[in-house]
Amino acid sequence: MSAQVTPPRGKGFFRTKSVEQSIQDTEEPEHGLKKSLSALDLTVFGVGVIIGTGIFVLTGQVAKETAGPATAIAFVAAGVVCALAALCYAEFASTVPVAGSAYTFSYASLGELVAWIIGWDLVLEFALGTAVVAVGWSGYIRSLLDNAGWALPDVLSGTDVAEGFGFDVLAFALVLVLTVILVIGMKLSARVTTVVVAIKVGVVLMVIIAGLFFIKAENYRPFIPPAEKQEAGGGWDAPLVQLMFGYEPTHFGVMGIFTAASIVFFAFIGFDVVATAAEETKLPQRDMPRGILGSLVICTVLYVAVSIVVTGMQHYSELSVSAPLADAFKATGHPFYAGLISFGAAVGLTTVCMILLLGQTRVFFAMSRDGLLPRFFSKTHPRFHTPYRPTILLGVLIAVIAGFTSIEELATLVNIGTLFAFVVVALGVLVLRRTRPDLPRAFRTPLVPLLPIVSVAASVWLMLNLPVETWVRFGAWMVLGGVIYFAYGRSHSRMAGENRP
């Protein structure tokens, strides 16, 4: 006997989709996803998407320009901010084990309009993230090919061609191959990810262990360099907080650690993608919190260890910006490890790209199942039980975008989109605790309402540190989403039909 479904609350923009209705939708044969993932699979997904080029590049770059050896503390601070959001995600993912992550959570707590906004935001975040990572992966592969004495023709090497037509065939091919893997099934995706993540983490651990033998204690002095004011800036590329409050970020010193934290925070982006796989998890109430929090802890430890090693191998003032860890090994007379780092980065970006694409398709699938996007995309494959229609559509579109445009200038949109999702999820925890205290919660965010409020404040502060230009582009995307919602989603929503007399 099926449980009684709580009717939708609210009207119009504020109508919500009950948790019971969300779970019931997953039981429809043509619209439900196959449950095949364990806590280990989720943890591997989290580690796979978080660890990318940031661990090889961002650590040394921030150490040289912002925090010195205290970059390790900045990683801890950024990890704490992410942990605040992760605790909120863990409660929602275990309470509402449905595809869609923050979109589904906000639909159950804050209403349809907010759900649409956050869903549209996640579509942008994951799509651009996938394309940007694919282009980065292509760059590492071309570098490795060049080292082997084999180079691609300029016309197929990407969009950095000075004149004429340019197409990044490697980035294009990567996205298409990953699309096929995701269509075939989540278990295959999990197996591929497990192998690749094992290689990637193995490379990181080898670099850490090898680097320990080249550390010099004098390179850690001073551990917190004296504070230096940054040169005053302005215009579109200035942080919004600077224009609003006249705040000037600081190089080095204690405040430099927090400035560095706002930068290295983006190396953690991706753990929220784990929540998009809630519907495909065997025991989501138990395994989602383990996967989200476990992957975050593992990556924080690795980031801190790498930052300690790189600042100990070479004085922070002498680190290079483009490839600090690789160049630090070259400076100690061990170029072999530089090639190993490039290999690890290339392998690592493969999983980052695949898991971002996975998150993108699950959000699109959930919005389609709710009627906010055409229901054509909400049917699963009869054999593989995967959302093959949105996967193929988005995979091809993103492959073309990755092939024809570098879009590095749009990468910060991924950051603001993630932080915006953090804010909505934290607020959603507060609302659902008040409106549905009766819901069974396998995992409960501690210190409510204090912890979600602190999470919102921390995320908003980091958002304010993003350039004004990023805010303008984000606003334009949201306006476009609003037009689509009022022209299509509002009238086709399944909740609209259920609210009609």
Residue 470 corresponds to which tokens in the numbers above?
């990023």
From 324, 319, 310, 344, select the one nearest 143 (Cα to Cα).
344
Residue 24 corresponds to which tokens in the numbers above?
């019931």
**Crossing angle of helices 284-313 and 71-95, rounded to 10°:** 170
CB atoms near residue 127 (< 10 Å): 23
User: Does pLDDT of 267 surpass 70?
Assistant: yes
User: Does pLDDT of 117 surpass 80?
Assistant: yes
DSSP H/E element including 24: helix 19-25
User: Does pLDDT of 71 surpass 90?
Assistant: yes
Residue 186 per-residue DSSP state: H
Task: Find the mean pLDDT for residues 263-285.
Answer: 80
List the single range of 30-39, 298-307, 380-389 with lowest mean pLDDT. 30-39
Question: At residue 165, what are phi and psi to the nearest 5 degrees?
Answer: -80, 140
User: Does pLDDT of 423 surpass 50?
Assistant: yes
What percentage of the chain reaches a pLDDT higher than 70?
88
From 287, 232, 369, 280, select the one nearest 90 (Cα to Cα).
287
Residue 169, exposed/middle/buried by CB under 10 A (0-12, 13-18, 19+)? middle
* pLDDT greater at residue 176 or residue 233: 176
Q: Which of 262-266, 318-322, 350-354 has the highest mean pLDDT?
A: 350-354
User: Does pLDDT of 5 surpass 60?
Assistant: no
**Crossing angle of helices 186-212 and 324-331, rounded to 10°:** 40
Residue 231, exposed/middle/buried by CB under 10 A (0-12, 13-18, 19+)? exposed
User: Does pLDDT of 198 surpass 80?
Assistant: yes
124, 413 Cβ separation under 8 angstroms: yes
**What per-residue confidence (pLDDT) applies to 1?**
35
Residues 9-59: pLDDT tens digits? 556 667 888 888 887 877 776 767 778 888 888 898 889 888 876 777 778
Residue 381 corresponds to which tokens in the numbers above?
């494959």
Residue 249 preceded by cis peptide, ω within 30: no
Residue 163 per-residue DSSP state: S
Residue 443 per-residue DSSP state: S
**What per-residue confidence (pLDDT) applies to 234?**
57
User: Which residue do the tokens 């689509």 mark?
Assistant: 484
User: Does pLDDT of 6 surpass 70?
Assistant: no
498 band by pLDDT with thresholds 50, 70 and 90: low
Residue 499 corresponds to which tokens in the numbers above?
């609210």
Task: Find the mean pLDDT for residues 386-401.
Answer: 93
**What per-residue confidence (pLDDT) applies to 68?**
93
454, 84 Cβ separation under 8 angstroms: yes
Residue 265 corresponds to which tokens in the numbers above?
């925070």
Task: Find the mean pLDDT for residues 292-308.
Answer: 93
**What per-residue confidence (pLDDT) applies to 233?**
55
**What per-residue confidence (pLDDT) applies to 342?**
77
Q: Name the CA radius of gyration of the chain, rounded.
A: 23
Residue 345 corresponds to which tokens in the numbers above?
């980065």
455 band by pLDDT with thresholds 50, 70 and 90: very high
**What per-residue confidence (pLDDT) applies to 465?**
78
DSSP H/E element including 250: strand 250-251
**What per-residue confidence (pLDDT) applies to 174?**
94
Alpha carbon distance 136, 159 (integer Å): 12
User: Does pLDDT of 4 surpass 60?
Assistant: no
Task: Find the mean pLDDT for residues 176-182.
Answer: 93
93, 284 Cβ separation under 8 angstroms: yes
From 184, 125, 172, 126, select the one nearest 357 (Cα to Cα).
126
* pLDDT greater at residue 156 or residue 398: 398
Task: Find the mean pLDDT for residues 105-134.
Answer: 88
**What per-residue confidence (pLDDT) applies to 494?**
87
**What per-residue confidence (pLDDT) applies to 232?**
52
Average pLDDT across the chain, whole number? 83
Residues 356-366: pLDDT tens digits? 898 889 889 99
495, 370 Cβ separation under 8 angstroms: yes
Q: What pTM did the predictor assign?
A: 0.82
